[in-house]
Structure 1
Amino acid sequence: MTNTKITSSIPKERLNIVGRKLLSARAVRERAAQLLSYGQSDRLDNFTVDMSRLDPTSDFVLRVIRSNYPNLGVPPHSRWRHFELGEFDRWGMIAGTRDWRDPVELGRAAFDLAFVSVLLDAGAGTKWAYAESATGETFSRSEGLAIASLVMFTSGAFSSDPYDPLRADARALAGLTYEELADGFQVSNGNPLIGLEGRLGLLNRLGNAMQERPDVFSAPDGIRPGGMVDMLIRQATGTGKIGAPVILEVLLESLGSIWPGRYMMGDVALGDTWKHPKVIAGDASDGLLPLHKLSQWLAYSLIEPLVWSGMTVTDLDGLTGLAEYRNGGLFIDMGLLKPRDPTALRRPQKPESEFVVEWRGLTVALLDQIAEGVRKRLSRTAQTFPLACVLEGGTWSAGRRIAREKRPDGSPPIIIDSDGTVF
């Protein structure tokens, strides 16, 4: 799938500047807030927004948080939570078997795992599951994808060095085959995983993209996702501190080429950015809504490895909530968002459709509203209870819980025709 060029009469240099502005969490938040403001004044074409349902939704999320974490010790939202299912810290146990030379070496390996696991985590569908031999348990959806990717990582499936399995590198990722990924994820006719080709394509393109950006991904032992740890340490210029939005911006700027069939503005690949006519910026980016769901999910999941490497990550709330089907499904199932055409919920929707783009943008803006409501009820601040904790505690679990109450298979209220690269 080739990228679509955004046409404009302005010079390419200026177009590049405008495009780069879309590669940030700030752009996601500001443009999503525009959609919500339209929704609050009943000026959207696909959804109405019933703000009288905001407080009941905040109350429901808080009940879920207290149920999941009675002492309110909520960890940040990240891929690492899935590796701790059943109070069994799989990664901690695996990492503990190795004598790491220093904290940065551990951080590089954790970066490698986070990259491949997050990029493989884009909606599994309702028919796939993974049987974990170590515990004898079977997991589906995000949890199953996490465990499957961890087992593949541990086996050395993403490493080109047979003597160092606990790593992922550009050569191995670029050469990964469909058969290897299908085998690792236990895919069969009776256990189908949606979007497997799309997931494989992401990893293959990741391998190629890293080779084109040695300034970001060079590690002492080759080109690998973990090389970004070294780059961020250099960028911290001796302070040992890095802002979470900076992590996202590095990801978006260096990996724009891995996303298939997206928009290009000048020479800038815009990633998870889609068209919506209500978004106005007063420049060539009018009508474009960035969301960057998987990239932000990855940014959240890189925070802990950076801390393990000895760094301090600041401004966690500089990232936004994630525009995915559990958070977005929560708002539909709670009646906060209502499709103008109820039959739209019965038809498969493409990720690029205005219906889905509008839903995702409203989801981001409403997550900020929910976070504010939860903090107010807990007498907490953004510093003591960041958005990452609201998501983890939180909205994601609440979305899954109410989906199970509403539908026997726990599926989201919107049927997504997914290619494995968006959700």
Structure 2
Amino acid sequence: MTPPAMIPPELAALRSPAAVRARSHQVLDYVREGRSPHFTLDLAALDKVADYVAEVTRQDYPTLDIPYHSRWRHFDAGGVGRWHALAGRLETADAAERARTMIDLAVVSVLLDAGAGDSWRYHEDETGLTLGRSEGLAVASFDMFAAGGFSCDPAHRLRADAPALIALDAATLARHFQVSDANPLVGLAGRAALLNRLGEAVAARPDIFGAAGRPGGLYDTLAPQARIGRLPAETILKALLDGLSVIWPSGLEVAGVALGDVGRHPAVRMDDLSDQLVPFHKLSQWLTYSLLEPFEASGLAITDLDALTALPEYRNGGLLLDLGAIVPRAPLDPAVKHRVESELVVEWRALTVALMDLLADRVRERLGLDASQFPLARLLQGGTWTAGRRIAAERRPPAGPPPLAIDADGTVF
């Protein structure tokens, strides 16, 4: 692990949403100039995308009271208020400990939230619900958390700690997630290994996660940085990128620095170590969106939400492909899976980030909301993620896989 003080500044600068946005827009310009062998753009189609997203948003939220896009929405799958019930076990905890617990839960659940595949399902005995995809993963991880599956201390089950995370194996995860030959989960071993690395990273950085070795220790580090009770969203993301960059198995290292969710693309030319590097930090940003509510529940106000970017994942990116804003130069063969690090997928992800910036104002105009009322965190929820899922199900029933097949290991998408 490269100590933070020794990371070259041009690589450290990649750990920011500003770098994600700026370099994604460089890729957008490259494609607009007709230089890409993979895609062209039809920016006029963004109006059609905006119409569809606005329609979906009004259907799901008729009063336009739209929450943040976060893991907490998935915990309510099937209309069941699972966190409210679990919080009853924290009645004697103070606000800080409740925030730590919420952060512990959100971190492990988000890191288990990569694509589950079309076949896997989770059956919840208490409600009788059978859930797949993100909702199923959320409820499975929630139940595992409630059962103490991420804690090494039987007296304190509602927590995640480094020893338990480091010791977690794929067989244990499979048992909690009901995985079998008849119910396969994509990337099971990769998910377990990711949580092992999370435990190692949390233990290695007490300056970020505290001496107790819990992801929730992030609260104690960041809460004192709030000014007049206000904490910028980017502060949360930067702490996560600093503390967790070593856990991602991308294999992309430059000058001995583990870069995390970063790809290469020829549109980005620099005269330093960051040449051709395009950062995304999708799961870190998804995690940041999912930590807004734990920090707010403690009494802090989270500010500057639109410093974060849209999430470059297959629902948002698939929406843009399915509705014709991003146009493949050659038909996409659903039988051909593309590696996450391939130039085509890196380009698709970068275009997703940049085009969502352009889409946001169009959707706001249709809904009669401004950026303060409808930040990206609500656009995604209202919003583009749901719209991407719905159009995929319409175009490729019944499962609705993405229009571009991805060879993923369970740790990015």
* TM-score clears 0.5: yes
Corresponding residue number in structure 2 for 1:413: 403
Counterpart for residue 141 of structure 1: 133
Alignment match, 1:300: 289
Question: 1:311 deviation in Å?
Answer: 1.3
Q: Does the CA-based 8 Å contact 1:210-1:225 persist in structure 2?
A: yes
**For the residues of structure 1 that align with 2:181 and 2:144, how far apart are their CA atoms?**
21
In 1, Cα distance between equivalents of 2:26 and 2:187: 31
* Structure 1 residue aligned with 2:262: 273
The number of residue pairs the alignment matches comes to 411
- Which residue number in structure 2 is paired with residue 193 of structure 1? 185
Q: TM-score, normalising length from structure 1?
A: 0.94
Give the 3-state SS of the residue equivalent to 2:339 in structure 1: coil
Q: Does 1:164 align with 2:156?
A: yes
Q: Structure 1: which 5+ residue stretches go unaligned? A: 6-11
Using the TM superposition, give the Cα deviation of residue 224 of structure 1 relative to its aligned residue in structure 2, in angstroms: 0.2
Segments of structure 2 that go 5 or more residues without pairing to the other structure are none
Question: Per-residue CA shift, 1:260-302, capped at 9, x if unaligned?
Answer: 1432333532100011111124432120100010000000000
User: Match of 2:199?
Assistant: 207
The residue correspondences of 1:318-329 to structure 2 (distance < 5 A) are 318-329=307-318
Q: Distance in 2 between matches of 1:339 and 1:111?
A: 40
What's the CA shift for 1:15? 6.2
Q: CA RMSD in A?
A: 1.7
The Cα offsets for residues 307-352 of structure 1, whole Å up to 9 and x where unpaired, read as 1112111111110000000001101110111111214544111101
Distance in 1 between residues matched to 2:5 and 2:289, nearest whole Å: 31
Alignment of 1:11-410 (within 5 A): 16-218=8-210, 222-236=212-226, 239-408=228-397, 409-410=399-400
Kept after mapping to 1: 8 A contact 2:332/2:404: no
Q: Is the 8 A contact 1:15 1:265 kept in 2?
A: no
Residues 39 and 47 in structure 1, CA contact (< 8 A), matched pair in contact too: yes
For the structure 1 residues 161 and 15, does the alpha-carbon distance in structure 2 shift closer, same or farther, using more than 3 Å as the test?
A: closer
Asked whether the 8 Å contact 1:114–1:302 carries over to 2, the reply is: yes
Q: Is the 8 A contact 2:198 2:247 kept in 1?
A: yes
Task: Name the SS for the 1:289 alignment partner.
Answer: strand
Secondary structure at the counterpart of residue 376 of structure 1: helix
| 1:8 match | none
Off by >4 Å, runs of 4+ in structure 1: 12-15
How far off its partner does 1:98 sit? 2.5
Deviates more, 1:253-262 or 1:206-215: 253-262
CA distance in structure 1 between the aligned counterparts of 2:188 and 2:234, rounded to whole angstroms: 30
Could you tell me whether the CA contact under 8 Å between 1:321 and 1:387 is conserved in 2? Answer: yes
Matched position secondary structure for 1:223: coil
Distance 2:337 2:403 in 1: 11
Identical positions, percent: 53
Q: Deviations over 1:198-217 (max 9, x none)?
A: 11111000001111101111
TM-score normalised by the chain length of structure 2: 0.96
Range moving further from structure 2, 200-209 or 371-380: 371-380
SS of residue paired to 2:122? strand
- Counterpart residue identity of residue 283, structure 1: D
Asked whether the equivalents of residues 16 and 265 of structure 1 are also in contact (C-alpha less than 8 Å), the reply is no
Instruction: Tell me the SS of whatever aligns to 2:407.
Output: coil
